[in-house]
Structure 1
Amino acid sequence: MSKPNVDYSVYLVTDSGLNHPSRTLLQSIEDSIQGGATLVQLREKELDTADFIELARKVHEVTKKYNVPLLINDNIDVAIAINAEGAHVGQDDVSCTEARQRLGPNKILGISTGTPEEAKKAIADGADYIGIGTCFMTQTKSPKRTLGPMGVRTILEAIPADVPLKTVAIGGIKHDNTRRVVSHSAGANGRILDGIAVVTGIVGAQDAKKATKQLLAEYKSGYEIASKHHEDGQQQQQQQQQQQQQHRDALEKKVLQSLSGLLKTLRESSPLIHHISNYVVMNDTANATLALGGSPIMAPCVTEAEDLSKVVSSVVLNIGTLTDSFVDCMLAAGKYANAQSKPVILDPVGAGATLLRQETTRKILNSLHVDIIKGNAGEISTIASIIGCDTETIAMRGVDSLGSGFSNPAAVVQAVAKREKCVVAMTGKIDYVSDGARTIAIENGHEYQGRISGSGCMVASSIAAFAAISPNDHFVAAVAGILALNLAGEHAAARDDVRGPGTFRAAFIDEMANLEPEMFDQAKIKAF
């Protein structure tokens, strides 16, 4: 008998203790299969072997009826006794090699993994698939740490592309996070999760069939997003190699043509921008938003985040002031903005300065889809480290970067953008913007911008304003947001009444309000 060909898309893992009281475990399993479950694991930690075998035989009758493989958790004796299609073992259970020896070569064998090293060992030990977890907090386990999509991605990238090992994520997987887990965990090597393993989201649901259908739909959607992003990346890379100079020229021309129209649209529509910002710059960012043509609301209150998400056009998450209430509000505002498909702009102020700021940045990136990340070299360096990009390290002192910056900044922003599937805008003497495929340097601006507090935070507000009226191209919105302030800075510094940073600050706001669409013709941009 040959090994069965397994579809891991929605992998049901049972738990009698969490089964919904309205039905039996057997009913839950059958309902989930009818809803689209493609694989079932019977996990019963409290039963002795005899009772486990009796239950397993009944479950196997159900799964065989629908030609769905049944795996037994941990207990190889049970798997052999009922001739199950395979087994799953944990790191603290019977070893993978022993399980393979006892099961034979034609049974499915999976093992739980939580690190790249464990994944590599699973390959050597003969596993057919690995369960990667724990992804999020769950009722079935109390892990010391959770991986999140970024941790899952690190493990996927540790598996060579030519190795036929299958992968599923497990731990706190629900219908409202499945799509993001699958799309955001996809590795740069093209690996995408082969499935999601779910316990409570199915057996604990009032309608197991409906819950499974939702999970399957979300898995397929996430897989499609990840596949398209990878395919697009490969195609764009090939096109860039074939037509590099032509592409750069065309990109510069296209961006320049878009900019003046965006400013006009911004002032006509006056989008409402939700700011959760630090106290130092709150007034400046509000005034900058108004001067450009937007409308700011400074609302760091979690209670009104959901209501605001329905009326605002974009959200700025600025971690400059870190309190528990601010962080809770950022997570809530970001969650509701994601649900409403409103752009989320992250300004990781001083992300590398303290462990708290690093962990807050990690939490935001792991919990939300961020459309645009805006930061200086030190902040982008910290994010690169958090998400596993191999780049140079730029030290920080407070909110400021130290040193001369990256040796190849364009490559860094491109790598971070590609990995996070978002737009990255890095500010400095020369600014860089990338969406992973398109990358542009901006050489406008004036040194006074770096000598007043809040200039970087104002850039985030400017980007958010343009992103609000450019929902289909956040890359161009980020370029426009930076250029608008850089051009205003140049014009302000050239005024006769500006004598230094103090007088520059007031003139800077004035010149944002004085910007005209044709002034974008003064842009100094270079495409890569």
Structure 2
Amino acid sequence: MTSVDYSLYLVTDSTMIPESSTFLKQVEDAINNGATLIQLREKKLSTLEFIERANKVHELTKKKGIPLIINDRIDVALAIDAEGVHVGQDDMPASIARKLLGPNKILGVTCSNEKEAKVVVDEGIADYVGLGTVYKTNTKKDVKDPEGTGPIGIRRMLQVLSQYQKKNGKKIYSVAIGGINHSNASKVLYQCSLPDYSLDGLAVVSCIMANENAAKATSDLAELIKSKPEWLKNISTSSSEAKLENKIKTLIETKPLVHHITNNVVKNFSANVTLAIGASPIMSELAKEYEEFASAIPSLALLVNLGTPSNDLMDIFKHAIRVYNKYGKHIVFDPVACGASKERLESSRQLLNTGQISVIKGNVGEISSIWKLTSTYQKPSGDEKSLMQGVDSIAELSEEQIVQIGREVSIDFKVVVVITGVTNYVIEGLDSLQKVKGGHPLMGYITGTGCSLGSTIAAFVAAKADGTSKPTVNIFDAAVGAVELYNIAGFKAGEVSKTPGTFMTNFIDQLYSCTHI
């Protein structure tokens, strides 16, 4: 079989065609402007009508040398000698489909979870898998997860495919499908990848089939598939190892804005911390203004704090993440007490699936809970120990275990991880680790000291305060600077405080003194 380009896989839907066009015109425009594979999906046509339509589409694809895949109907595929067939979990079993098709046709199978992916690799007869749905979509009603499996679920299925390739030396190709369009295509490709294994393409439906200008929609999407997501364009991977003074200097000169969507308990304290270090806070849950913020303010970062979640606030969180991703602005996520309940961990899963985060900050219990969402996590047999009691971590782990968990979270989610405690750990991937001594025991008696560290990190990242004067930012170096400043101020405040009340005032004073005097 010749090599197949899965990068822009169009799945047709004849119910979406705009009045100004026709089904064949939409398909032809897509074929002529970058679609690399066409799947003809018709659920309501008679067999004769399906064959007639398939023949017409096949004439178009053959001119461009693009494979035509028939959804489900092997009889139609054989009748027109199409290049392949795609079967879902409720369609004909893949093993039977392969026997009918023979060894030289393309066979694709839908997978919605790890279990289904394992069945496909155990059979070893599929050429590719369609993984999804990634996001909530109106084109498929009978999905196992109405909210979508998200990048987290896709990565777990990619782990299955990766292990199969390592063991057997054979690759099963993969495309993601479900809710993918121009606004999230490059993001999906970036998030749905492992260090050694990536998607081979994206399958789309409505963003081309329902578009008034299918030609432009296809060419634009093809370009997006080749491009980097916006937030990658201002990230530096080279470390400067700059001194804290240089980072603080950049912070003060830049005076960044930190947009807080945080819990009501800590809003005032977080605002005061942000002001004390020379940044500006804004507390906004008015979703309609986020586009204006993210598009117009250069030195800006978003802090998402899960402290007091609600259904309405979850919608606001998701909208904010999408908007900030769109404009390449960085996001700090504080998954407060995500290990305290299944619902909080599920909320974290949904937010991490929504878009790309730059920094995840939490205590050992919180980061250990996020670790359960990674593609490398294997659920232990027997009962799992609770990791949190309310917002407090009760996880008992060695330093080696803490660092390993941090690394796996960092690699899977492509983030800098900050783990707080008596020792703070700033982690990025396998190679970057900085340990910072905790500030003072009195910090544990003040509501908001953990949350407002998120404010400080967001300020440093927004200001590109990594100690250089480059237009890009090394997020790891900026986060290290924020953690160092925060804990130095905490230590100094503790030295002159005997009680939590006086500590809180002294802490704000020390943050100001460390940055302004």
| TM-score of the superposed pair, with normalisation by structure 1 | 0.88
What is the one-letter code of the residue matched to 2:82? A
Please state if 1:220 is matched with 2:226: yes
Which secondary structure does the structure 2 equivalent of 1:321 belong to? Answer: coil
CA displacement, residues 12-53 of structure 1 (integer Å, 9 cap, x when unaligned): 111111222222211111100111111111111111211111
The answer on whether the counterparts of 1:259 and 1:517 sit within 8 Å (CA) in structure 2 is no
The answer on whether the counterparts of 1:262 and 1:469 sit within 8 Å (CA) in structure 2 is no
Structure 2 residue aligned with 1:204: 210
Aligned ranges for residues 207-286 of structure 1 at < 5 Å?
Answer: 207-221=213-227, 254-255=240-241, 257-286=242-271
- What is the CA distance between 1:224 and its match in structure 2? 13
Distance 2:77 2:312 in 1: 50
Which secondary structure does the structure 2 equivalent of 1:6 belong to? Answer: coil
- What is the CA distance between 1:98 and its match in structure 2? 1.2
Structure 1 residue aligned with 2:425: 432
Distance of aligned partners of 1:302 and 1:181 in 2 relative to their CA distance in 1, 3 Å threshold: same
CA displacement, residues 439-459 of structure 1 (integer Å, 9 cap, x when unaligned): 111114111111211110111
Higher relative contact order (CA 8 A, sep 6+): 2
Structure 1 residue aligned with 2:468: none
Distance 1:57 1:321 in 2: 57
Match of 1:17 among 15, 18, 23: 15
Backbone CA RMSD of aligned residues: 2.3
What is the one-letter code of the residue matched to 1:382? S
Distance of aligned partners of 1:394 and 1:466 in 2 relative to their CA distance in 1, 3 Å threshold: farther
Please state if 1:506 is matched with 2:512: no
Structure 1 residue aligned with 2:201: 195
Which secondary structure does the structure 1 equivalent of 2:372 belong to? Answer: helix
CA displacement, residues 281-330 of structure 1 (integer Å, 9 cap, x when unaligned): 11111111111111111112223222222336111111112123322222
The answer on whether the counterparts of 1:394 and 1:406 sit within 8 Å (CA) in structure 2 is no
- What is the CA distance between 1:55 and its match in structure 2? 1.2
Structure 2 residue aligned with 1:378: 365
Distance of aligned partners of 1:12 and 1:93 in 2 relative to their CA distance in 1, 3 Å threshold: same
Structure 2 residue aligned with 1:402: 394
Structure 2 residue aligned with 1:38: 36
What is the one-letter code of the residue matched to 2:445? R
Which secondary structure does the structure 1 equivalent of 2:337 belong to? Answer: coil
Structure 2 residue aligned with 1:364: 351
276-285 or 350-359, which deviates more: 350-359
Distance 1:83 1:403 in 2: 59
Distance 2:11 2:325 in 1: 29
Distance 1:66 1:267 in 2: 57
Match of 2:441 among 433, 442, 447: 447
Structure 1 residue aligned with 2:474: 473
- What is the CA distance between 1:460 and its match in structure 2? 0.6
Please state if 1:308 is matched with 2:309: no
Distance 2:117 2:109 in 1: 9
Distance 2:485 2:158 in 1: 40
- What is the CA distance between 1:176 and its match in structure 2? 1.1
- What is the CA distance between 1:389 and its match in structure 2? 4.1
Structure 2 residue aligned with 1:83: 81
CA displacement, residues 407-444 of structure 1 (integer Å, 9 cap, x when unaligned): 42222212211111111101001000012131111114
What is the one-letter code of the residue matched to 1:192? S
Distance 2:365 2:395 in 1: 9
Identity of aligned residues (%): 42
- What is the CA distance between 1:99 and its match in structure 2? 1.1
5+ residue gaps, structure 2, are 465-471
What is the one-letter code of the residue matched to 1:114? S
Structure 2 residue aligned with 1:521: none
The answer on whether the counterparts of 1:9 and 1:219 sit within 8 Å (CA) in structure 2 is yes
288-297 or 402-411, which deviates more: 402-411
Which secondary structure does the structure 1 equivalent of 2:227 belong to? Answer: helix
What is the one-letter code of the residue matched to 2:283? M
Structure 1 residue aligned with 2:25: 27
Distance 2:395 2:76 in 1: 62
Distance of aligned partners of 1:403 and 1:59 in 2 relative to their CA distance in 1, 3 Å threshold: closer
Distance of aligned partners of 1:367 and 1:516 in 2 relative to their CA distance in 1, 3 Å threshold: closer
The answer on whether the counterparts of 1:305 and 1:329 sit within 8 Å (CA) in structure 2 is no
Distance of aligned partners of 1:343 and 1:125 in 2 relative to their CA distance in 1, 3 Å threshold: closer
The answer on whether the counterparts of 2:133 and 2:177 sit within 8 Å (CA) in structure 1 is yes
Which secondary structure does the structure 2 equivalent of 1:387 belong to? Answer: coil
72-81 or 257-266, which deviates more: 257-266
The answer on whether the counterparts of 2:231 and 2:329 sit within 8 Å (CA) in structure 1 is no
18-27 or 383-392, which deviates more: 383-392
Distance of aligned partners of 1:115 and 1:356 in 2 relative to their CA distance in 1, 3 Å threshold: closer
What is the one-letter code of the residue matched to 1:351? C
Distance of aligned partners of 1:258 and 1:19 in 2 relative to their CA distance in 1, 3 Å threshold: farther
44-53 or 136-145, which deviates more: 136-145
Distance of aligned partners of 1:439 and 1:273 in 2 relative to their CA distance in 1, 3 Å threshold: same
Distance of aligned partners of 1:429 and 1:501 in 2 relative to their CA distance in 1, 3 Å threshold: same
CA displacement, residues 182-230 of structure 1 (integer Å, 9 cap, x when unaligned): 1111124x1111111111111111111111112222222369999xx9x
Structure 2 residue aligned with 1:242: none
Distance 2:451 2:134 in 1: 33
Distance 2:230 2:361 in 1: 28
Structure 1 residue aligned with 2:175: 168
Which secondary structure does the structure 1 equivalent of 2:171 belong to? Answer: coil
What is the one-letter code of the residue matched to 2:62? K
Structure 2 residue aligned with 1:244: none
- What is the CA distance between 1:376 and its match in structure 2? 0.5
The answer on whether the counterparts of 2:152 and 2:374 sit within 8 Å (CA) in structure 1 is yes
- What is the CA distance between 1:374 and its match in structure 2? 0.7
The answer on whether the counterparts of 1:394 and 1:405 sit within 8 Å (CA) in structure 2 is no
* Number of residue pairs the alignment of both structures matches: 490
Structure 1 residue aligned with 2:151: 149
Distance of aligned partners of 1:280 and 1:88 in 2 relative to their CA distance in 1, 3 Å threshold: same
Distance 1:16 1:225 in 2: 36
Distance 2:487 2:150 in 1: 37
Distance 1:458 1:27 in 2: 55
5+ residue gaps, structure 1, are 237-250, 519-528
The answer on whether the counterparts of 1:377 and 1:394 sit within 8 Å (CA) in structure 2 is no
CA displacement, residues 228-280 of structure 1 (integer Å, 9 cap, x when unaligned): x9xx99xx9xxxxxxxxxxxxxx7xx53x332111122122221111111111
- What is the CA distance between 1:122 and its match in structure 2? 2.1
